[in-house]
Amino acid sequence: MLEKRDFYIGGEWTAPAAGSDFEVIDPSTEDAFAVISLGGQADTDRAVAAARDAFPGWMETPPADRIAVLERLYDVYKSRMDEMAAVISREMGAPIDMAKAQQAPAGLGHIKNFIRAARDFAFERPLGPHAPDDRILMEPVGVCGLITPWNWPMNQVTLKVIAAMAAGCTMVLKPSEIAPLSSALFAEMVDAAGFPPGVFNLVNGDGPGVGTQLSAHPDVDMISFTGSTRAGIAISKTAADTLKRVHLELGGKGANLVFADADEKAVKRGTLHCFNNTGQSCNAPTRMLVEASAYEQAVETARAVAEKMAVGPADAEGRHMGPVVSQAQFDKVQDLIQKGIDEGARLVAGGPGRPEGFNRGWFVRPTVFADVTNDMTIAREEIFGPVLSIMPFETEEEAIAIANDTPYGLTNYVQSADAARRNRVARRLRSGMVEMNGQPRGAGSPFGGMKASGNGREGGVWGIEDFLEVKAVSGWGGA
């Protein structure tokens, strides 16, 4: 059992003033391996006060000096990458090789990209030649409450924290209580990098506790939240009383449009993408729409991929799928798989229950459904597990209609050799992101969605802008 972790407030590690203990569970074994404290109102108030006290100084720190501290943080993070990967793997179940290759490096990559974006960012800019004495000043929002989930811990922590730091904001981070140890390690890195006390604060807690306290707090100027659409709605309602800015990165139900002229690896690539991180990604391509002439072959390919997918504990080396994060997540995925069967989808691979050989740990069978219709529950709800739904389409118009027939609008995917078709379809898909033919978005590309997938954008200049206010000044004197 790891030792209990304290909070990081005002540049110091400090014991909680109140709250209860919470066990952190290893998803591969169902055993507790660490204990944290869940903070109370007094802890939240202390952290917000520390951030409020630090804000004027950090706001007035020249951008070049803020960047210099971020560069030190980059070096510290890089030196502890293997340690970060090991912590993430154990707390949320990512296979260790995947944690080393994807989970931990995501944080390092975002630090690097925000440093690059901040170097070229114009915090002061002219309005235009028609108004030579007008200036636009981009100023930090203020104290930010950052609430992050468990599925990609450092990806989401760094997307918020580093952007807020670069913008000149101070902050209180509440990571998921399910996977909190990576954020504690990140706080150690922030401390080692030498940020002024109070710029970054960490308080553990759950959503109804610290999460709600931050959302309602009168001295918090902005909430940035990544998580479920249900929780995002609740946060928005709580924050409304204090008129704070709310940035939401919520769920998704991505459609992967596979046309008959797609490359031969498109279906395999899409299936593996759906199963990556055990399906626990908001931008996973969980609905595969296949042109009718290629449909049965696509179903067969997806079945073969799922049946060959190895499942194993997070600490095992090699390429395999780990467990889902918790008992609650396991139960949700099992219920939705059964609902797919009950509503008439054709079960092609996987199904209810644990994979063969497992009677412990929250392991799910890689599951593929065919003949899914867009009114079925498995096509409407975000499952957040390794479940792929395949459905046919006859025409481009029908494919677009099916893809857009969802409350969500995060990421869609297009597979076709026809460049004109790809571009045409991409323009008509109602989502914040579209990826085509397996090409990922470039470094610093904005991440975010529309509709029930949230608002705002993270990453690159867009991520920094989300933490800034726009001030218009006339009569500007001098250069």
pLDDT category at 477 given cuts 50, 70, 90 is: confident
pTM above 0.85, yes or no: yes
Q: Which residues of 183-217 are buried (b: 16+ CB within 10 A; e: fewer)?
A: bbbbbbbbbebebeebbbbbbbbbbebbbbbbbbb
Active-site hit among 169, 177, 282, 435: 282
pLDDT at 3 over 60: no
For range 79-98, the mean pLDDT: 98
With CA atoms as reference, report the closest residue to 327 among 27, 92, 33.
27
**Residue found under tokens 């869609």:** 412
pLDDT > 90 fraction of the chain, expressed in percent and rounded: 97
Between CA 268 and CA 417 the distance in angstroms is 16
Which member of 249, 291, 382, 458 is catalytic?
Answer: 249
pLDDT of 251 above 50? yes
Residue 95: what are its φ and ψ, rounded to 5°? -55, 140
Look up 274 and say whether it is catalytic: no
Query: Average pLDDT, stretch 38-66?
Result: 97
Cβ–Cβ < 8 Å for 193, 73: yes
CA distance 189 to 280: 26
Q: Is 282 a catalytic site residue?
A: yes
Residue 65 CB burial class (10 angstroms; 0-12, 13-18, ≥19): exposed
> What tokens appear for 250 in the block?
């919520």
Cα gap 353→281, rounded to integer Å:
21
